[in-house]
A and B are shown apart, each in its own frame.
Chain A
Amino acid sequence: MSKAFWTVFFLVGLLQACRTPFDPEVASQASDFLVVEGYLDSEGKASKLKLSRSAPLDAEGPFVAETGATVTLNSASGESYLLDEVEDGSYLFEANVSEEQSYYLEIVLRNGERYRSTEMRPIVTPDIIDADFLLDEEGVEVFITTQGDQFADDFLWTYDETWIYRPRIRVPYIYDAAIGNVRDRREGEHIDLCFKNEESPDILLETSSRFEEQVVFRQTITEIPRGDERIMERYSILISQKALEEDAVKFWEILKKNTEDIGSIFSPLPSLIGGNIFSVDGLDRPVVGQVSLGVVRQKRLYIDLVDVSPWNYLDPEFNDCVVEQEPVLSRFYDPVFVSGGVLPARAHIPEGGTMVIGYFPTSRRCGDCTLYASPIKPDFWEDE
Chain B
Amino acid sequence: MRKPVLFFPILFFLLSVHAAFSQQADRITGFFPGISFLRFVDLVEEETSYRFYLKESDVKDLTVNLEARQHRLEEVLAVIFDKTDLKFSISGEQEVFISRGEKMLVAFAPDYFRQNTVGTSSLVQDEFVRNRRYTVGTPGHGAEATLSGVITSLESQKPIEGAVVYERESQRQTITNKEGRYQLTLPKGNQTLLIQNIGGYTEQRLLDIQGDAALDITIGEGIFSLSEVVVRSGALTNVSRPEMGVQSLSVQQLRKLPAVMGEVDIIRGILTMPGVNTAGEASVGFNVRGGAADQNLILLDQNTLYNPSHLFGFFSAVNSDMVQGVELYKAGIPASYGGRLSSVLQVTPKTGRQDKIGGSGGIGPLTSRLSLDGPLGENTTFVVGARLTYSDWLLDYLEERADLGASRAQFGDFNASIQQQLGEKDKLRASAYYSMDKFQFDPDTVYSYSNLNYALTWTHYFNDELEADFSLGQDKYDFAVRGEDNPLNSYLYGFDISQTFAKAVFRQEKGDRHLLSYGIHGIGYDLNPGKIDPYGAESIVIPDEVAREKGLEASVFLGDEFEVSEKLTLSGGVRLNWFGFFGPQTLPEYASGEPYFPENIIGDTSYGKGDLIKSYLGPELRLSGRYALNNWSSIKAGVNTMRQSIHLLSNSSVITPTDTWKLSDAFIRPQTGVQYALGYFRNLENNAIEFSAELYYRSMQNLLDYRSGATLVLNDRIEQDVLVTKGKAYGLELYLKKVTGKLNGSLAYTYSRSLMLTDPSERKEQVNRSDWYPSNFDQPHTANLVLNYELSRRVNTTLAGKYSTGRPVTLPVAKFEYGGSERVYFADRNSFRIPDYFRLDLSVNLEGNHKVNKIAHGSWSLGVYNILGRDNAYSVYYIPEGGKLSGYQLSIFAEPIPFVSYNFRF
Contacts and interface: CB of A to CB of B under 8 A. Distances in A.
B811 A19 contact: no
Interface string B381-407: 000000000000011001001101101
A3 B405 CA distance: 11
A37 B656 CA distance: 35
A51 to B, nearest CB: 11
Interface stretch (B142-150, B679-687, B820-828): B820-828
B877 interface: yes
B441 A7 contact: yes
B878 interface: yes
B441 A63 contact: no
B439 A17 contact: no
A17 B888 CA distance: 12
Contacts of B817: 35, 37, 52, 63
B408 to A, nearest CB: 10
Contacts of A257: 709
Contacts of A318: none
Interface in A245-282: 246, 250-255, 257-259, 262-274
A30 B889 contact: no
B818 A255 contact: yes
Interface string B438-474: 0101100100000000000000000000000000000
Interface in A1-60: 1, 3-5, 7-24, 26-27, 29-33, 35, 37, 52-59
Given A16-B897, A272-B708, A30 B888 contact: no
B654 A265 contact: yes
Interface stretch (B26-34, B88-96, B289-297, B867-875): B867-875
A18 B875 CA distance: 11
A283 B812 CA distance: 21
A211 B824 contact: no
Contact of A210 (B541, B819, B874): B541
A286 interface: yes
A29 B814 CA distance: 9
A140 to B, nearest CB: 16
A203 interface: yes
B581 interface: no
B586 interface: no
B404 A7 contact: yes
A269 B404 contact: no
Contacts of A1: 445
Contact of B544 (A21, A200, A210, A263): A210
A55 B445 contact: no
Nearest to A56: B814
Q: Which of B488, B826, B873 has the most CB of A within 10 A?
A: B826
B357 interface: no
A161 B312 CA distance: 41
B282 interface: yes
Size band of the interface chain A makes with B: 35 or more
B540 interface: yes
B409 interface: yes
A63 B816 CA distance: 7
A7 B405 CA distance: 8
Nearest to B768: A272
B891 A14 contact: no
A316 interface: no
A15 B598 CA distance: 47
A158 interface: yes
A57 B885 contact: yes
Nearest to A52: B817
A250 B542 CA distance: 22
Given A8-B441, A11-B398, A286-B825, A265 B890 contact: yes
Interface string A312-355: 00000000000000000000000000000000000000000000
B651 interface: yes
B337 interface: no
Contacts of B813: 26-27, 29-31, 56-57
Contacts of A21: 886-889
Interface in B839-887: 871, 873-880, 884-887
B562 interface: no
Contacts of B886: 21
A57 B893 contact: no
Contact of B826 (A24, A52, A212, A271): A271
A266 B654 contact: yes
B826 A273 contact: yes
Given A22-B888, A31-B813, A56-B814, A268 B651 contact: yes
Nearest 3 CB-CB pairs, A to B?
A201-B821, A271-B708, A4-B441
24 contacts: A7-B404, A7-B441, A12-B409, A13-B893, A19-B888, A21-B887, A22-B835, A24-B887, A29-B827, A30-B814, A57-B815, A211-B540, A217-B540, A252-B819, A254-B708, A259-B823, A262-B877, A262-B879, A264-B877, A266-B654, A267-B652, A267-B877, A268-B652, A269-B653
Interface of B: 280, 282, 311-312, 314, 394-395, 398, 401-402, 404-405, 407, 409, 439, 441-442, 445, 488, 540-542, 544, 598, 651-654, 656, 658, 708-709, 711, 765, 767, 776, 810-821, 823-827, 829, 832, 835, 871, 873-880, 884-895, 897
Interface of A: 1, 3-5, 7-24, 26-27, 29-33, 35, 37, 52-59, 63, 158, 199-201, 203, 210-212, 215, 217-218, 246, 250-255, 257-259, 262-274, 286, 288-289
